[in-house]
Structure 1
Amino acid sequence: MATFRAEVFQNEFLPDGGTDVHAIVTVTAEGVGGAATTGGGVAEIIMIDTSGSMTGPMLAAAKHAAQVAVDTIPDGTWFAIVSGSHVAQRVFPYPNAPVAIVQMEPGAREEAKRAVARLSAQGGTAMSTWLRLADQIFATQPAATQRHAILLTDGKNESEPRAQLTSTIQAVTGRFQCDARGVGERWQVDELREIATALLGGVELIADPADIAKDFQALLATSLSRGVADAQLRVWTPQGGQVLFVRQVAPTVEDLTARRTEVTPLIGAYPTGAWADESRDYHVAVRVPSKTVGAEQLAARVQVAVADEVVASGLVKAAWSDDASLTARISPEVAHYTGQAELASAIQEGLAAKAAGDEATATVKLGRAVQLAAETGNEEATSKLRRVVEIEDEEHGTVRLKRGASRLDEMALDTASTKTSRVRR
């Protein structure tokens, strides 16, 4: 049986006049078990880019990966395969089939692999059509409460306005989770990040097409290990209180603030998606009316809810003091993850400035990123930054842009920017 627990890390002491309370809430799930495919509660859709740019070895590698994925999906799982170009087409079940999604069994597995083998590349790229079709397919099987998709592309979303993609993402948000993968160096990180962030998935670069199959297997293994289909983080604040933000800060930075739905006037719910046996950290910031020195108050109650049942709870406190030795302390957990969130922004802003030809801003931002990566112990970020900048002084963030940095190196840094190092306790 799945169990959740919530631990709160903060400095609860505020100075006279202080109003803002910050806390890191660690949520841990145990005993979750795998997804219940035998009950028909799990659905997987694979979306493969079949635009003209995929012609040749890229499409061959994607087809092989899709076939490996089909072999990986266990019997009983609902599944479908979508071919995506400037339009989307369901390739399995076949377009003339009476149903849009079927449960995996040996016959369906072999037929799906034959359908994948027939894929060909042509046309442009309009990812909104892929997402809309996936949503429509999922909707035909309401019994599948855990819905996960993989989207693979090698190019830019060039066949439609960006606003069309954004509006479609907004329309399907909350209806399924999606991991996005870009292969090669011609796709846009910000496009796939927009999809993955909204749909509670991850975005990764696959530099070598030969690695697509391994990545698909890992994605499916992770998806099928999630025995809790959905959980909410609920934040209660007292009358007069205000939630400033709610962010997931580990294992990746994801801002959930705008995803709030109201449970009651004092309680907001934030989606966290499906869970396996794992631990995640959330940064919760609230503002409460200031009280006199010596006063104490419950600033927030953070709860985890599964199927509308509260399964874990933690308290965020506030206490006003005139003792500077208490109020000046910064919780090491809060300090660590504040730095990690700033690190992600510095990398993304620095790379955007570099792409726009603003080398001065790029140097400042990426220098700050180097400094933050060192301060927070994010060795992966430091390693990837070294491929893009020459580091002269890590402590002070003094860097020079590397003239020979490849686009793949920049994309690897960009996609990894939101990955965080856990705080050392």
Structure 2
Amino acid sequence: MITFNCEVSQNEFLAEGVGEVHAVITVTARDEAAAGADATGPNATDPNATMTARGVFARPRGDAGRPAGAAVPGDAPGAAEVIILDCSGSMEYPQSKIIEARRAARAAIDALPDGVAFAVVEGTEQARVVYPERRVLVTATAQTRAEAGRAVARLRPHGGTSMGRWLRLTAQLMASRPDAIHHAILLTDGQNGESAKALEAALAACEGAFQCDCRGVGDDWRVDELRQISTRLLGTVSLLREPAQMADDFRALIAKALARGVADVALRVWTPKGSTTRFLRQVSPEVDDLMPRAVEVNPFTRDHPTGAWAAGTREYHLCVDVPPADVGDERLAARVSLVVGGEVVTQARVRAVWTEDAELSTRIDGVVAHYSGQAELARAVQDGLAARRAGDEDSAVTLLGQAARIAAAADDGAMLDRLGKVIEIDDPVTGSVRLRRDVEKLDEMDLDAGSTLTVPAKR
């Protein structure tokens, strides 16, 4: 049973005439059964509940009468998994790609416990259900896992690449189990052969139907293309340098997907009349802009889907513009709620207090500053690599140097290692760098794919 709480990090003090409010919302999902904890807390939807100083509510979804920490029978939905394998002609070169792709698919199938609904899709210029033979999900048993493994073993590379069709078929399959938590793995080694318009239409049709983690093997696929898919479908994108990495990666993705026991989670932001949300983005464990997925609840409230959750922590940076007020005034700048299945389960408040004390109004909250830098780092890496590819070396040096400086300040060793394969870092503190002349394409792609990963703020 999962319970949630959220906390706000901000400097609520503003100078006279200022209306820009920043806050980081930290949302923690806790598996009380696993932790053996005896959590208690007010019901977020109870009109008699009181807000704590840290804005903490915690209550399992689906039963308004139960205290936080109580188990809710039948509350956890089932799981549905679709494995999408690129079987285009390029998967034959080298042959190890299709061999390891088949092995990875079998590993993922074998990792599915009894009762999970699943299917396997062959992706070429068409989309075909490899297993089962009908366009529905089948329940995992010893027999169906064995049958699916034999079907996967018969896959052979041929044809082209139409990812939009693969995704549309996956959405159709997921519709056969509407109450499950839907997740897909998409593996490819190449670029989409459809028009950008066709892919966008497919993503619009699939958005909200399932989450999708994308994996690219080799160096012929496009990071921005898979990032477009994974961002719209609330997943991740990652580079697999060698085909032999596929099986372990697929097992890890299945384990992570099956750990998600809470579906249909959204971050709800209310702002008062006259205020506007400038941006809302996830900043940990990776950067993700939530604004394009906003759904209007009423003129003052928007829901931002975040997908299914397991135990863990995610953090969000909110920026709100409020009408400036007089010195001494205090206002509620925003109310942020976590909504599960349409029901509020935890809530926090973002405040604005106007002061003439410059020491208070100029103080920068450390958590907000850290994650502002992490978002800037992601942009600098992506823009710097784009400038490098375009031959604009001056801009590339400036942007990638900025990325190195931010990574060093955040003590992000993994990012510095990735950057060091693309640039010579003379002084990370000042951002003094030089472009390398002999950069492997895989190293550039790895840096691009990992640009949105962040390190937690130190508290």
TM-score (norm 2): 0.89
Deviations 1:285-314 (A, max 9, x none): 111111001100010111111112211111
SS state at 2:23 partner: strand
CA 1:259–1:33 in structure 2 vs 1: closer, same or farther (change >3 Å)?
A: farther
Structure 1 distance, partners of 2:234, 2:5, is: 21
Instruction: Quote the residue 1:278 is aligned against.
Output: 312
1:125 and 2:164 aligned: no
Counterpart of 2:159, as a letter, is G
Matches for 1:32-111 after TM superposition, within 5 Å:
41-55=78-92, 56-94=95-133, 97=134, 100-111=136-147
Aligned length: 419
CA drift at 1:39: 7.9
Query: Relative to structure 2, which stretch is displaced further, 115-124 or 391-400?
Result: 391-400
Contact 1:252/1:418, CA 8 A, preserved across alignment = yes
Structure 1 distance, partners of 2:74, 2:198, is: 34
CA 1:161–1:33 in structure 2 vs 1: closer, same or farther (change >3 Å)?
A: farther
Contact 1:33/1:227, CA 8 A, preserved across alignment = no
Matches for 1:226-237 after TM superposition, within 5 Å:
226-237=260-271
Contact 2:336/2:347, CA 8 A, preserved across alignment = yes
Question: Which of residues 162, 173, 189 in structure 2 aligns to 1:137?
Answer: 173
Contact 1:33/1:277, CA 8 A, preserved across alignment = no
Q: Indicate the percent of aligned positions where both proteins have the same amino acid.
A: 50
Question: Which of residues 282, 286, 289 in structure 2 aligns to 1:255?
Answer: 289
Structure 2 distance, partners of 1:290, 1:389, is: 44
Question: Which of residues 219, 226, 234 in structure 1 aligns to 2:253?
Answer: 219
CA 1:37–1:204 in structure 2 vs 1: closer, same or farther (change >3 Å)?
A: farther
SS state at 1:248 partner: strand
Structure 2 distance, partners of 1:33, 1:119, is: 42
Displacement over 2 Å in runs of 4+:
36-41
Question: Which of residues 190, 199, 208 in structure 1 aligns to 2:242?
Answer: 208
Contact 1:138/1:147, CA 8 A, preserved across alignment = yes
Counterpart of 1:29, as a letter, is A
Instruction: Quote the residue 1:6 is aligned against.
Output: 6
1:310 and 2:318 aligned: no
Instruction: Quote the residue 2:47 is aligned against.
Output: none
Query: Relative to structure 2, which stretch is displaced further, 259-268 or 243-252?
Result: 259-268
Question: Which of residues 431, 438, 441 in structure 2 aligns to 1:397?
Answer: 431
1:153 and 2:188 aligned: yes
Structure 2 distance, partners of 1:355, 1:33, is: 50
Counterpart of 1:151, as a letter, is L
1:364 and 2:364 aligned: no
Structure 1 distance, partners of 2:177, 2:444, is: 40
Contact 1:32/1:275, CA 8 A, preserved across alignment = no
CA 1:305–1:39 in structure 2 vs 1: closer, same or farther (change >3 Å)?
A: closer
Structure 2 distance, partners of 1:314, 1:83, is: 45
Instruction: Quote the residue 1:16 is aligned against.
Output: 16
Structure 1 distance, partners of 2:76, 2:354, is: 52
Structure 1 distance, partners of 2:196, 2:299, is: 35
Contact 1:20/1:285, CA 8 A, preserved across alignment = yes
Contact 1:61/1:209, CA 8 A, preserved across alignment = yes
Deviations 1:358-389 (A, max 9, x none): 22221111111111111222221111101110
- Over aligned residues, Cα RMSD in angstroms? 1.6
Instruction: Quote the residue 1:349 is aligned against.
Output: 383
CA drift at 1:37: 11
Instruction: Quote the residue 2:42 is aligned against.
Output: none
CA drift at 1:41: 2.2
Structure 1 distance, partners of 2:231, 2:100, is: 26
SS state at 2:326 partner: coil
Contact 2:9/2:24, CA 8 A, preserved across alignment = yes
Counterpart of 1:68, as a letter, is A
CA drift at 1:140: 2.1
CA drift at 1:138: 0.8
CA drift at 1:264: 2.0
Contact 1:246/1:285, CA 8 A, preserved across alignment = yes
SS state at 1:200 partner: coil
Instruction: Quote the residue 1:408 is aligned against.
Output: 442
Contact 2:217/2:239, CA 8 A, preserved across alignment = yes
Structure 2 distance, partners of 1:71, 1:403, is: 44
Q: Which runs of 5+ in 1 are unaligned?
A: none
Structure 2 distance, partners of 1:225, 1:33, is: 13
Structure 2 distance, partners of 1:354, 1:171, is: 34
Structure 2 distance, partners of 1:215, 1:357, is: 34
Structure 1 distance, partners of 2:205, 2:32, is: 30
Structure 1 distance, partners of 2:14, 2:318, is: 16
